[in-house]
Structure 1
Amino acid sequence: MVASSTSPTVLKRWVAFELRKLREDAGVSRDEAAKAIKGSVQNIGHIETARSLPKPLELERLLELYGVPERSEFFLELRTRAKKGRDWWIGFDESTVPEYFKLFLGLESSAVKIESWDAIVVPGLFQTPDYARAIIRDGDPSLSNTEVARRVELRIARQEEVLDQEDAPQVWAVISEAALRLQVGGPGVLKAQLAHLVERREDPNIEMQVLPASAGAHTGTEGPFTVLTFPSEVAHDPGCVYTETRVKGIYYEEPAQVSVYRDVLTRLQVRADKPEDFPGWVRKTMKDL
């Protein structure tokens, strides 16, 4: 079910994505769709790329043309919520939330399942403030104390928005042994971080696995990524894969692309230690510090 807290940015995306797929499945051209709403091909292009939302009558005419008039109520609700809603990160400035990251924040908080592979550090959704502060400060020494503090605040806000809601998603994280042993912030900070992981692992919707160094070469050697799955009501959305470089975020949204990453993740889950072994493994690591 599409949660009431779903980001307006994501609702717009879903309306656009679904309408494009319904048009293509119905064998309707953009020109034919434009004629149905007495608009231009450019209008349809803007609707299908989430640059604008269709008006209610336009939406009903398009759905009738595509052969699914029974979905009008669903789409009209999404449209209304997209118009009236407010993205949760709106209070953070551009230096804290770069443009490329906004979509991810919306998608992450709207997903019903979040699966990730982290090879270098603990996933952001589970980082303690001290651990996050060390990662952010050492990752970019040019940042001021105020900028570091705001980015830590954003990271903690993400956790509250995603994990601490009544309709929290299922989360499955595969984390490399190297990430859990990297002494971010020193032994004390890392020990507190590991204890926090064990605590969060108790949540019924969260699973974690360790991929030990002894596993050798594996399908995750190209780097971390996150796979997002969305509500079943968004019938044509295959999900999204997100990965990030120093300068931009990369989104993979085509079904074939998402399928590749789902296969990689499945192989990592199979190679990793069993989820029930996670607490014991982490406690042993804490004793080694």
Structure 2
Amino acid sequence: MAEPAGAIGIALLRRHIGRHFERLRIQAGLTQDQAAERVELSKSTLIRMENGNDGVKFRDVQVRHMLDQYGACATDREVLMALTAETRLGPRKSWWHDYTETSLPPWFAMYVSLEDSAAVIQYYEQELIPGLLQTQSYAERVMQVPPGFLDEGEAVRRVQARLERQSLLTRPMAPRLEVAICEAALYRLSRMGRALAREQFQHLLDVTQRANVELRIVPLSAGMHGGMASGSFILLHFPRDPITDEPLEPPMAYSDSLTGAMYLTKPAEVHSYRLVWSDVLLNALDPGASRSVITTFLEGLHSDGEHHSRMVQEQPQR
């Protein structure tokens, strides 16, 4: 039987159901217009179902009718009846539902729901400490730039949402987080005030003690690498269907800016970012050496108020 929604995330479950229905429709040789007429739905409703939109209700009678019209086999019928039933078990909201309308930009809310369902998160960051590893003080400072972009109330709500996101690293069945950060971000951090920097550096050392978190530093001495062409990005990898062993959702590359985001799901697009990720890791220090670099930055904050961290001259340790 299919894995329960609580284990894989309701947003991902809906998208998975939608992909199932789309596959069955295509196998039946039906266009969306033809299918909508046959199953007695509007085309817009059918599209929302196939996209896994949050507002769609997968009613039992309706699901059976669709399966009949698509000529679904017994296995597909069993799986889809079980999965759609999971979406009707009541208001089991994820934490991020409380923020999607009040604090998170619309283009980011979708990412948060997908991140909440991911099995592996690979995060490359050039200038900042990644949001999942930020302290409250650091996040508050980040929300202040550029000056005037966010009013005080919205900045506070976004910081709270960012801190709430971090709970996914400590929950049962937590995802694996793999992070690569340019050394330049550590230099910037060391100039943000001793108390703030000390707290953030120590937090990085603490969080990387967790078995599901791996952090690597890309030293300035690495020279040219793929991440310089791509900019910061995130790769999301999703759980596998317990029946088919196929990913519930294809891998996705995500990249955002100040006012928008790109969700890249085409195989060629994701492959390009995977190549970049591999090249970044080739040029990054191993986790142990990366912790040593962070420790050096932290210790430098205690040396007469000056930061004396050395430039990392070693070749990347693979």
Q: What's 2:178 paired with?
A: 172
Q: Alpha carbons of 1:66 and 1:244: their partners in 2 closer, same or farther (altered >3 Å)?
A: farther
User: Is it true that 1:106 corresponds to 2:110 in the alignment?
Assistant: no
User: Is it true that 1:69 corresponds to 2:93 in the alignment?
Assistant: no
Q: What's 1:16 paired with?
A: 18
User: Is it true that 1:212 corresponds to 2:225 in the alignment?
Assistant: no
CA distance in 2, matches of 1:2, 1:120: 38
Q: In 2, are the aligned partners of 1:21 and 1:236 still within 8 Å (CA)? A: no
Q: What's 2:129 paired with?
A: 122
What do you get for the CA RMSD once the two structures are aligned?
Answer: 2.5
Q: Larger relative contact order (C-alpha < 8 A, sep ≥ 6)? A: 1
1:17-67 Cα distance to aligned partner (Å, 9 max, x none) = 33324544x362225544653445554323223343543344345556365
SS in 2 for 1:231: coil
Question: Percent identity between the aligned chains?
Answer: 26
SS in 1 for 2:269: helix
CA distance in 1, matches of 2:102, 2:46: 33
SS in 2 for 1:96: coil
One-letter amino acid of the counterpart of residue 81, structure 2? L
Unaligned runs of 5+ in 1: none
Q: What's 1:29 paired with?
A: 30
SS in 1 for 2:104: coil
Q: Alpha carbons of 1:28 and 1:236: their partners in 2 closer, same or farther (altered >3 Å)?
A: farther
One-letter amino acid of the counterpart of residue 99, structure 1? P
How far the C-alpha of 1:248 sits from its partner, in A, is 1.1
Q: In 2, are the aligned partners of 1:172 and 1:207 still within 8 Å (CA)? A: yes
SS in 2 for 1:243: strand
1:71-124 Cα distance to aligned partner (Å, 9 max, x none) = 434433432343433242232364521111111111001101101100010000
TM-score (norm 2): 0.80
Aligned positions of 1:133-282 closer than 5 A: 133-160=140-167, 162-183=168-189, 185-221=192-228, 222-233=230-241, 235=247, 237-282=249-294
CA distance in 2, matches of 1:215, 1:242: 25
How far the C-alpha of 1:145 sits from its partner, in A, is 3.3
Q: Alpha carbons of 1:276 and 1:15: their partners in 2 closer, same or farther (altered >3 Å)?
A: same
Q: In 2, are the aligned partners of 1:240 and 1:252 still within 8 Å (CA)? A: yes
Structure 1 runs of 4+ aligned residues shifted over 4 Å read 38-43, 60-64
What is the count of residue pairs matched by the alignment? 287
One-letter amino acid of the counterpart of residue 17, structure 2? V
Q: Alpha carbons of 1:254 and 1:60: their partners in 2 closer, same or farther (altered >3 Å)?
A: farther
1:142-198 Cα distance to aligned partner (Å, 9 max, x none) = 4343332222111110001x1120110011001110112213632321221111111
Q: Which deviates more from structure 2 when the two are superposed, residues 229-238 or residues 124-133?
A: 229-238
CA distance in 2, matches of 1:66, 1:264: 43
Q: In 1, are the aligned partners of 2:238 and 2:248 still within 8 Å (CA)? A: no
One-letter amino acid of the counterpart of residue 262, structure 2? I
How far the C-alpha of 1:4 sits from its partner, in A, is 0.8
CA distance in 2, matches of 1:256, 1:21: 21
How far the C-alpha of 1:7 sits from its partner, in A, is 4.2
CA distance in 2, matches of 1:255, 1:19: 21
Q: Which deviates more from structure 2 when the two are superposed, residues 203-212 or residues 54-63?
A: 54-63
Larger Rg: 2
SS in 2 for 1:182: helix
Q: Alpha carbons of 1:208 and 1:170: their partners in 2 closer, same or farther (altered >3 Å)?
A: same
Q: Which deviates more from structure 2 when the two are superposed, residues 194-203 or residues 92-101?
A: 92-101
One-letter amino acid of the counterpart of residue 243, structure 1? S
CA distance in 2, matches of 1:66, 1:126: 48
One-letter amino acid of the counterpart of residue 288, structure 2? E
Q: In 2, are the aligned partners of 1:208 and 1:275 still within 8 Å (CA)? A: yes
Q: In 1, are the aligned partners of 2:127 and 2:182 still within 8 Å (CA)? A: yes
How far the C-alpha of 1:261 sits from its partner, in A, is 1.2
